[in-house]
Structure 1
């Protein structure tokens, strides 16, 4: 037997047909799972009942316990104003506050969290802005989206929502593009947007969208180089549209976004960006290997570079190989003690209610759940990603937020050598997610222990099956 966290132990037991299954033992309790030997398993623990902390706990936080919190759906006062709520995943507390959420935030979708500030895009008119729940600073408006390449404003009557779906996917999928936040109270502006792009075969096309449809895939993430109230802050947007295969940036107060030409003319979407060592912005693409570097020191002459990287050989067991082949992937870049880390998150939607991956099952409406992570560090001398299985006392936070790395020594409540994650699936903002998982949004969160390779999480719900808005990490920032 092998010792496992939480006193779990596993052994192999023969089954009919000559196959093997794994049996989990916790104390005197034994549970049998219908998994073949080559199938990975997602370990999960039940969270205890949620404690509700008074506002005073949040009012005067100290740096000793200022680890990131999960922002969760707000409470409402009698006057209809929404109040901020946070979930302290580490201490398993819901933190209620008296912080009133601006009306603009109530009508927007979060697309980033950085330095204690949150980035939003309005589902009413696609305006982009920053807001901090930890300061009294007003909202900071960012440039309008029609200053991005290939996007123009058009009259609302010229918008044809279903045109591109009819052309490529058929009428049956039209509803899948609707925002999960749409309601009768949301008033549509008298304008929409025309989006143009070039195909690899050099042909051109376009589609038109209203604001509450375009927000679903317009901007993937926004990151900041520093707090936006500082003079040296640079705001970088990672466009979600395939026509924009590079980044755009601005300074708070700018009237337009500046698009940076990609260093490689390939059909690779950028999936994450990190501001590294207070110097360059690094971006990882959807192919996983291609790395871009952006030098924005001279904003009048931005530069982009291609870094051709390779991966060092990593010995994998048959179990590990199966997990990587059978799961989907999402990528993140993280700065850790002066090193650049590439983090790959594996997830699957073929799970039962106990969080177990089932081979050849009839489960077709399971929500995506994280199964494991791979972590690599970049050897800048050889431009090679080196696999690592231990990050020491470091703790990583990934999701919609700008990826974070903290020290467990500085934040003793955190568990060292772990990755804390929240749900950042591309489906979380859609009214009808793909694969028929209408009942689940924002539920995939927890932490992953690198030392043993085990995920701990729970489809813990705040009210109902859909957590809207979905939770995301936000770091309490101290000035």
Structure 2
């Protein structure tokens, strides 16, 4: 595994994928890695039943979900964080590490950010798990809201311009009753600010003079005053292709949501 600068081509070696829990190398006669033994991620029942995967399959689409590089200001170094399958666990490595460290026991993460020695990871449970990576042993605290029925379909965490953290949750529905021919579409966006002191999420109903960009890439929160072409208190979003990639004829989930009333404006025609 390597970090690659797409502009300069510079590469930095990362710990081997075989040091991540669940991944076991299979060697050929020349003692080169030929395949991997890797748990199926299609269902929890199959979790402990390993599959044999070629190197290219694991590398291209079966393992990595999302990767981050965070600057660790106190040490002047960097931390690489990987959200990976099965069940989108999180592993991390510091500069100089020879293996990845799995953050147990939770899973189903979709996004994370790093601030003041803490890795904040957003879970599909509608929670934020704050891992303290500053000490020799990793500790964790759970930051959750008061809505027990909260069940988002997509979550993102973003550092706001004023220094706080926001959890952005998207609720989706199938446009067509038959999920085999339809894709999930964003119907509502909920916002919570992170109250670190009280260790809870506080729901808010607007972002005056600010705008959000949501998608599978980094989430952004910008000041609308600095970008007159953008609408304040709005979220611009794209789908993550999780349900769209096998439905080429489905309408893409790309649009703008007014955070004040959750009204949505589509930005593409029904079919690209």
Report the TM range for the smaller structure's normalisation: 0.7 to 0.9
> CA 1:245/1:362 → structure 2, altered by over 3 Å: closer, same or farther?
closer
Q: Structure 2: which 5+ residue stretches go unaligned?
A: none
Tell me, yes or no, if structure 1 residue 344 matches structure 2 residue 169.
yes
Please list the CA deviations of residues 324-363 of structure 1 after superposition, one character each: whole Å capped at 9, or x if unmatched: 88xx711111121222211111222324xxxxxxxxx568
The residue aligned with 1:333 is 157
User: Which residue of structure 1 lines up, in the alignment, with residue 35 of structure 2?
Assistant: 192
Who is 1:383 aligned against?
Answer: 199
- Aligned partner of residue 246 in structure 1, secondary structure: strand
The reply on whether 1:218 has 2:60 as its aligned counterpart is no
- RMSD of aligned Cα (Å): 3.6
| 105, 129, 146: which one aligns with 2:18 | 146
Counterpart for residue 206 of structure 1 = 50
Aligned partner of 1:241 in structure 2 is 86
Matched, 1:295 2:136: no
Q: For residues 211 and 81 of structure 2, what CA distance do their matches in structure 1 show? A: 24
Q: For residues 398-432 of structure 1, what are the alpha-carbon distances to aligned partners after superposition, in whole Å with 9 as ceiling and x for unaligned?
A: 2222222211123333221122222214346x5xx
Higher helix share: 1
Gaps in structure 1 of 5+ consecutive residues:
1-126, 158-188, 314-320, 352-360, 466-479
Give the TM-score normalised by structure 1. 0.48
Do the aligned residues in 2 keep the contact of 1:217 with 1:240 (CA within 8 Å)?
A: yes
- The alpha carbon displacement at 1:231 in A equals 5.1
Do structure 1's residue 129 and structure 2's residue 3 form an aligned pair?
yes
Aligned-partner Cα distance in 1 for 2:89–2:81: 13
**C-alpha distance after superposition, 1:98-157 (max 9, x if no partner):** xxxxxxxxxxxxxxxxxxxxxxxxxxxxx4433344xx4524443332221121222579
Cα distance in structure 2, aligned partners of 1:426 and 1:155 = 32
Number of residue-to-residue matches in the alignment: 263
How far 1:449 moved relative to its partner?
A: 1.6
CA contact (8 A) 1:144 1:255 kept: no
Q: Does 1:446 align with 2:255?
A: yes
* Higher relative contact order, structure no. (Cα contacts within 8 Å, ≥ 6 residues apart): 1
Contact 2:183 2:243 in 1 (8 A): no
| SS of residue in 2 equivalent to 1:146 | helix
The alpha-carbon distance between structure 1 residues 212 and 200, as it changes in their structure 2 partners (threshold 3 A), is: closer
TM-aligned CA distance change 1:460 to 1:257, over 3 Å: farther
- In structure 2, the CA distance between the partners of 1:345 and 1:211, relative to structure 1 (3 Å rule), is farther
Structure number with the higher strand fraction is 2
